[in-house]
Structure 1
Amino acid sequence: MAQKRMTIKEADMLQYYLEGFDFVKKVVVYERTCDVAIYYKNNKRESVIKRLKKFNYNDTALLENMPNTSGRQITREFQEKMVGMLLSFGVRRLFFPNIINSVYTIVKAAPLVWRGIKCIVSRKLEVDLLDALSVAISIVQGNYSTAGSLMLLLDIGNELEDWTHKKSVDDLARSMSLNVDKVWLVTENEEVSVPISHIKTGDLIRVHTGNVVPLDGEMVSGEAMLNQASLTGESVPVEKSAGSRVYAGTVVEEGECLLRATVTNGQSRYDKIVSMIEDSEKLKSNTENMANRLADRLVPYSLLTTGLTYLFTRNITRALSVLMVDFSCALKLSMPLAVLSAMREAGNDKITVKGGKFMEAIAKADTIVFDKTGTLTYACPKVQRIIGIDGDDENQLLKIAACLEEHYPHSIANAVVKEAKERKIRHKEMHSEVQYIVAHGIASTIEGDKVVIGSYHFVIEDEKALLSEDAKRKVENLDHRYSHLFMAIAGRLAAIIEIADPLRAEAKDVLKKLKALGIKKTVMMTGDNQYTAEAIAKEVGVDKYYAEVLPEDKASYVEKEKAKGRTVIMIGDGINDSPALSAADCGIAISEGAAIAREIADVCVSADDLNELVKLKELSNKLTKRVESNFRFIMGFNGSLIGLGILGILAPATSSFLHNASTVGIALSSMTNLLPED
């Protein structure tokens, strides 16, 4: 980087900057040598060099968005603590008189012994009691050197536990906070979609029905009903109007709002993710909870074994060797670390998993339910043709449709907007407030005329749009291989937009791979007509399919499958998939779908490739195997140490060292990747 020294903050800044680009796979910054290694996607070398040339340590926007803490800083602090502890211990042993070392050992042991006494008073048999007994017995015997060594090993173990947990949480939070969202920025001339990282304090942002409020702010205009359950737990939406405070993470259920940002992204987003991770005890997997309960239950048996060892051998050293070994540290540390590491590994592939229990659900899953549009088919299908009714101008009809559809993140809407862009049709806001009717369509007013766009059921049957004879003939002769959007203006059918919604190239192969990984039943559910659904179902090879379903039908099906004892994964991308995503054992929102779907889902997959589902299933399966392997190792190794201690082969300090070393080893092993890097 052509600089003599690099601070930790500069290294973090460079890493954060480079990791924000889609074409960068991985970044490693070596601050001591001022080097950076960048792993990038094929043919993107010039893009990497171009971005490096633009990098500037004084970039205020980048500084605002960066998290304040980092794994690098956490590791540096840990290294300094470890060096300080070891130097202090060595200096005392080499240069201090025995009497001073003895007094120091007693003073340092006092808090440890006090914690043990509190365990006895509260009638709790915990690891603190085992540690207090081992140190206290050594001091009573006059073995101050042994007591000091035991406390050093305990301190090292505690610091390692603290470091590994903090580092795992930080790595996971950073990988999740890099997932960049798009927001609608309102300028003097137009409303444009920009990455959330571009927003500055004071900018105006518009949030539409079904979208998540991206940043804290104050409402400037509009009226909306906001679901604040993610913040307050309230199930009833709260009415907000001009002057009201709105908070990031809440969802607009009705209406829309124009807000002025009061907090930019960076630190608030990072803090929110860290809080989500650290406050997710209820999201821990059953395996993690079982390990914690087992660890606590094993403490009385450790005490009993210690007592029996002394009773039969009358050897306090052997009893201490048993006392210094406990199963709790390894069990309580390695299991959560394995889960956090797996979540971090998923995050590196832009898969956000919101809790350990969802990875366990994916590993156990035997049924998977797919929404069709944007999930099994491409996230941005193609407009095949625009059928104008009664001779209306095709481009003008597309302009109106795109103007309405651009506000709602769904693959069909994206196709309409993309077609307008490709035809170079500019579609500035020319309508009143847009209303979204879930699973049906959109309604608004343009120049005094009501405009509705959506399904046949919504436009023709619900809204009673008038059809001329020519329109009836065109509707009857529609090609059912395609999806169709109907648009009515001023009460009459004005256009039919035909959407080619081809199957994803990888879809068929992905379903086969999922079956090989343990999925027994694959289902497709769609609001499309029977002909379209049948064609896609046959091509992709699902076990069952259901056509013309409503959101409540999807949720109902998921509930029925769960009632049969199945573990169900639901995969979707739209507002209409939200009830089913919520009902499933694990709901997965895929690609650039609706923000409310991503908020409700348990897992969010940002990559537009179904192979990420295979990777997620493989990761979850291997996590289960790692947890089981860790459990067997911990029980076997620590059991062996206890046996060797009873036989008098291992001294207390050796038992403690080997126990702590194995705990650290299995913790570090749990932090390694489960899948080979691409």
Structure 2
Amino acid sequence: MKFQIRHEIRGRMRIHVIQSRMSFAQADTLQYYLEQCESVISAKIQNRTEDVTICYEGSKDAILEVLKAFSYEKTDVPDTYIKNSGREMNQHYWDQLVEQTFWHFGNKLFLPFSVRAVITTVKSVKYIWKGLQTLFQGKIEVPVLDATAIGVSIIRGDFATAGSVMYLLGIGETLEEWTHKKSVGDLARSMSLNISKVWMMCDGQEILVSADNVQSGDEVRIHMGNVIPFDGTVTDGEAMVNQASLTGESVPVRKVPDGVVYAGTVVEEGEITIRVREVNGSSKYEKIMAMIEESEKLKSSLEGKAEHLADKLVPYTFLGTGLVWLFTRNVTKAVSVLMVDFSCALKLAMPLSVLSAIREASTYNITVKGGKYLEAMAEADTIVFDKTGTLTKAQPTVAKIVSFNDQSEDELLRIAACLEEHFPHSMAKAVVREAVNRNLVHEELHSKVEYIVAHGISSKIGEKHIVIGSYHFVFEDENATIPEGKKEIFEQLPEQYSHLYMAIDGVLVAVICIEDPLRPEAVEVIAKLKKLGISKVVMMTGDSDRVASAIAKKVGVDEYHSEVLPEDKASFVEAEKNAGRKVIMVGDGINDSPALSAADVGIAISDGAEIAREIADVTVGADDLHELVTLKKISNGLMERIHRNYRLIVGINTSLIVLGVAGAFPPTTSALLHNTSTLLISLKSMNNLLDEKEEVTEENVAEAFA
């Protein structure tokens, strides 16, 4: 690629690409290429000017070599990346805003009054017809008020006021539509599938392959707790599939051979093999887009109340207009009331506030699946943490392997990893990682693997029955025994570790000691959450009381519960809610999914089980608990902004009505100030909540409007 350096400082460079025109697809291709480079921190591409701003780390020469090596033809970009980038949509709405502004003010400057009057009258037909349709439905809502204000202005010959009202209404509609589509698009992209590896069936064996290598017609095995990566038909097995993300069904659907499954749904119980029908990941994105567009989840209760209140206020605006005319017999004063109402600002500013907060959260790798969850987050006073992979590090490690038979540590670890690699739990991943670190390669010698939630794994190697999991599962459910003469070794197992027990044919063969260190930020995060309004912090874990109490003391929770089952977590959450508390549940595993569903806000952490991320109301992409603090701040800030907007809207519009009735303002000025204040409040509502460096008060915002 040929380019010129236009400006540079250490770690930042702005270049101009030498080409006649840069298309949206080319801009996205370059964006994708730069995002894949480890030395590039961020890149911003302006396709109209062919300018690229790059923030990078490392040497300038290295980044120049990266740019020189770029070629549109040689860069392989996923179709879904370009299709779902949003670049073309953003440009469309920006052009639309510019065009609306150009025509509005251009008409005033260059066209004679008679021509402007005709154009304004023609434009008004759309608004008047919409108002009549609403009226014919027996409703007196905002479209009726808009139509009346525009119609009365035209009848009085005040085409300037009618034109200004329609211009500001058009700008507001464009901004709302743009923000809504961008927020929904950002949300859908973050919810879309990000599956890199799948288990493909090959000659009766499960082979771990890249999802990109799967073709239509291939057979893929999906284990319990995993997301189904492709649309397809079940060829083997039986499973209960959670389809809530696509259909809204709360009850899992039974899938048997010849049944159809869809990408993005989750296997809650059992396991199935599917024949892939469609490998294009965009289908999942499109389905999510449709689901979000139709879902009420985007709306908080405050937002719904604002819309309802806006419509309820319309009749009172008409009543006020009639009373002013009745007592003053002054049409100008009556129209001044008609030009000012509370509904426009309420219906525009509130949705924009919520959608902008969702968009802002997405910039911190936080996916919020609806405005009502931000409201619940702000109101929450109790937070429940799972321990493993949540309060502790997402990557526990194997500290020690204790053998109880003649097999070596490596051989025992190889067997354990062979079973554990099928399941997305943090302790299972620790076993697999340790096997990889020791360069232990295994073949799939075992038969069908059965996963028992919150307990362990059962399978067979040849004729031998093998189980691996918790003490309760191995010794109480499976009745395993300790080999003769090994009792003392068993009793001296290090207490500071979590223990994973493995038995073959009912006899203990190994205990894998898992070190699960506390996240370094956990103590600080809990302290900050308490400052932000959380009064009760609880930790729940399936680990022993010995391990749980040590972690609880270190992290500073108010209470903890050990050796709990998934249903115990969900029951605790329900009990807290019944006691009148608003509950947040934070987890990452399959066993957390019932509690995530039960909580007012379920939050899934980073690299957890797919089912937890799918069921959760919020997912945190960053491997850092500080994002919980960020989410709480955004939620609290959103509620403060909504309440502030209420006060501003009532204060400003009440003042305009009083001044209009007093004769201080003509209808034209009242309409201009009303619509301008509505637009400014709406634009202010689109600002990032965490970027406001000083507390905004009603007074200084009102001053900004003056």
The structure 2 residue matched to 1:180, chosen from 183, 186, 194, is: 194
SS at match of 2:278: coil
The structure 2 residue matched to 1:268, chosen from 276, 283, 286, is: 283
Describe the superposition over 1:629-650 as per-residue Cα deviations: whole angstroms up to 9, x where unpaired: 2222222222222223223333
Contact residue 385 and residue 499 of structure 1 kept, 8 A: yes
Structure 1 residues 20, 259: closer, same or farther in 2, change over 3 A?
farther
* Aligned mates of 1:51, 1:550 — CA distance in 2: 51
The structure 2 residue matched to 1:37, chosen from 31, 48, 53, is: 53
* Aligned mates of 2:635, 2:110 — CA distance in 1: 53
Contact residue 291 and residue 335 of structure 1 kept, 8 A: yes
CA shift at 1:674, angstroms? 1.6
Structure 1 residues 529, 43: closer, same or farther in 2, change over 3 A?
farther
Are residue 505 (structure 1) and residue 524 (structure 2) matched? no
Contact residue 172 and residue 340 of structure 1 kept, 8 A: no
Structure 1 residues 241, 112: closer, same or farther in 2, change over 3 A?
same
The structure 2 residue matched to 1:294, chosen from 309, 329, 341, is: 309
Describe the superposition over 1:130-165 as per-residue Cα deviations: whole angstroms up to 9, x where unpaired: 122122223333444544444344333333333333
CA shift at 1:22, angstroms? 8.4
The structure 2 residue matched to 1:141, chosen from 156, 172, 182, is: 156
CA shift at 1:104, angstroms? 4.6
* Aligned mates of 2:180, 2:391 — CA distance in 1: 38
* Aligned mates of 2:37, 2:309 — CA distance in 1: 44
Describe the superposition over 1:583-630 as per-residue Cα deviations: whole angstroms up to 9, x where unpaired: 111111112111111111111112111111111111211111111222
Contact residue 340 and residue 657 of structure 2 kept, 8 A: yes
* Aligned mates of 2:214, 2:658 — CA distance in 1: 62
Are residue 654 (structure 1) and residue 669 (structure 2) matched? yes
Describe the superposition over 1:473-522 as per-residue Cα deviations: whole angstroms up to 9, x where unpaired: 22222222110001111222111101111111111111111111111111
* Aligned mates of 1:200, 1:585 — CA distance in 2: 40
Are residue 544 (structure 1) and residue 559 (structure 2) matched? yes
- TM-score, scaled to structure 1: 0.91
* Aligned mates of 1:602, 1:134 — CA distance in 2: 42
**Which residue in the other structure is 2:412 paired with?**
397
* Aligned mates of 2:207, 2:65 — CA distance in 1: 25
* Aligned mates of 1:395, 1:250 — CA distance in 2: 37
1:481-496 residue pairs with structure 2 within 5 A?
481-496=496-511
Are residue 9 (structure 1) and residue 25 (structure 2) matched? yes
5+ residue gaps, structure 2 = 4-16, 694-706
* Aligned mates of 2:275, 2:63 — CA distance in 1: 34
Structure 1 residues 309, 45: closer, same or farther in 2, change over 3 A?
farther
Structure 1 residues 328, 360: closer, same or farther in 2, change over 3 A?
same
SS at match of 2:538: strand
- TM-score, scaled to structure 2: 0.88
Describe the superposition over 1:392-432 as per-residue Cα deviations: whole angstroms up to 9, x where unpaired: 12111101101111111111111101110110111232222
CA shift at 1:52, angstroms? 5.4
* Aligned mates of 2:627, 2:230 — CA distance in 1: 28
Contact residue 483 and residue 528 of structure 1 kept, 8 A: yes
**Which residue in the other structure is 1:162 paired with?**
177
Deviates more, 1:410-419 or 1:606-615: 606-615
CA shift at 1:441, angstroms? 0.2
Contact residue 179 and residue 355 of structure 2 kept, 8 A: no
Q: Which amino acid aligns with 1:527?
A: G
5+ residue gaps, structure 1 = none
Aligned residues: 676
Contact residue 529 and residue 547 of structure 1 kept, 8 A: yes
The structure 2 residue matched to 1:121, chosen from 108, 132, 136, is: 136
Contact residue 337 and residue 667 of structure 1 kept, 8 A: yes
Describe the superposition over 1:534-563 as per-residue Cα deviations: whole angstroms up to 9, x where unpaired: 111111111111111111111111111111
Structure 1 residues 164, 394: closer, same or farther in 2, change over 3 A?
closer
**Which residue in the other structure is 1:610 paired with?**
625
CA shift at 1:18, angstroms? 4.4
* Aligned mates of 2:286, 2:634 — CA distance in 1: 26
Are residue 250 (structure 1) and residue 265 (structure 2) matched? yes
Are residue 285 (structure 1) and residue 300 (structure 2) matched? yes
SS at match of 1:502: coil
Contact residue 180 and residue 195 of structure 1 kept, 8 A: no
- Over the matched positions of the two proteins, sequence identity in percent amounts to 56
* Aligned mates of 1:59, 1:321 — CA distance in 2: 63
Q: Which amino acid aligns with 2:30?
A: L
* Aligned mates of 1:518, 1:646 — CA distance in 2: 44
Contact residue 201 and residue 264 of structure 1 kept, 8 A: yes
**Which residue in the other structure is 2:10 paired with?**
none
CA shift at 1:668, angstroms? 2.2
Structure 1 residues 113, 498: closer, same or farther in 2, change over 3 A?
same
SS at match of 2:517: coil
CA shift at 1:383, angstroms? 0.6
* Aligned mates of 1:152, 1:283 — CA distance in 2: 28
Contact residue 212 and residue 251 of structure 1 kept, 8 A: yes
Are residue 376 (structure 1) and residue 376 (structure 2) matched? no
The structure 2 residue matched to 1:436, chosen from 440, 451, 454, is: 451
**Which residue in the other structure is 1:672 paired with?**
687
Describe the superposition over 1:522-542 as per-residue Cα deviations: whole angstroms up to 9, x where unpaired: 111111111111111111111
The structure 1 residue matched to 2:440, chosen from 425, 442, 445, is: 425
* Aligned mates of 1:21, 1:265 — CA distance in 2: 25
Deviates more, 1:288-297 or 1:234-243: 234-243
The structure 1 residue matched to 2:600, chosen from 573, 577, 585, is: 585
**Which residue in the other structure is 1:527 paired with?**
542
Deviates more, 1:487-496 or 1:80-89: 80-89
Contact residue 127 and residue 326 of structure 1 kept, 8 A: no
Describe the superposition over 1:30-72 as per-residue Cα deviations: whole angstroms up to 9, x where unpaired: 11222222445x6698997787566543468524122535543
* Aligned mates of 1:199, 1:607 — CA distance in 2: 28
Structure 1 residues 433, 613: closer, same or farther in 2, change over 3 A?
same
SS at match of 1:469: coil
Are residue 318 (structure 1) and residue 333 (structure 2) matched? yes
* Aligned mates of 1:185, 1:50 — CA distance in 2: 38
Deviates more, 1:439-448 or 1:6-15: 6-15
Structure 1 residues 236, 97: closer, same or farther in 2, change over 3 A?
closer
1:299-378 residue pairs with structure 2 within 5 A?
299-378=314-393
1:60-75 residue pairs with structure 2 within 5 A?
62-66=77-81, 68=83, 70-75=85-90
Cα RMSD (Å) of the superposition? 3.0
Contact residue 392 and residue 517 of structure 2 kept, 8 A: yes
* Aligned mates of 2:252, 2:690 — CA distance in 1: 42
Describe the superposition over 1:417-456 as per-residue Cα deviations: whole angstroms up to 9, x where unpaired: 1110110111232222211101100111112221110011
* Aligned mates of 1:149, 1:31 — CA distance in 2: 33
SS at match of 1:270: helix
Structure 1 residues 338, 142: closer, same or farther in 2, change over 3 A?
closer
CA shift at 1:305, angstroms? 1.8
CA shift at 1:99, angstroms? 5.8
SS at match of 2:690: coil
CA shift at 1:289, angstroms? 1.4
